[in-house]
Amino acid sequence: MELIVNGTAETVPIRTIAELVAYKGLASGALIVELNQRIVKQEQWPQTRLQAGDRLELLSFVGGG
């Protein structure tokens, strides 16, 4: 399925947000996921199915002033 992840088109063998996070090998603790400009809470990642063309932002807080 082709998704736009952090602004880049990617073809990934996944169906849900949880699978995407696992596929990318990301630690979920600090991760914030935005799907089509809506935040999806971590407990909803396993049941949130993705569709081709979905835009995802994988974000986290970092040091800043």
Of 64, 54, 14, 12, residue with least CA distance to 33 = 54
Please, is 20 exposed, middle or buried when counting C-beta atoms within 10 Å of its C-beta (0-12, 13-18, 19+)? buried
Residue 18, φ and ψ in degrees, nearest 5: -60, -40
Interface with other proteins includes 30 (CB under 8 A)? Answer: yes
**Token pair for 3:** 């998704």
Interface with other proteins includes 22 (CB under 8 A)? Answer: no
- Minimum separation from the CB atom of position 13 to other proteins (A): 17
Interface with other proteins includes 13 (CB under 8 A)? Answer: no
- Minimum separation from the CB atom of position 34 to other proteins (A): 6
Residues in the site for other proteins, rule: CB under 8 A? 6-7, 24-27, 29-32, 34, 37, 39, 57-65
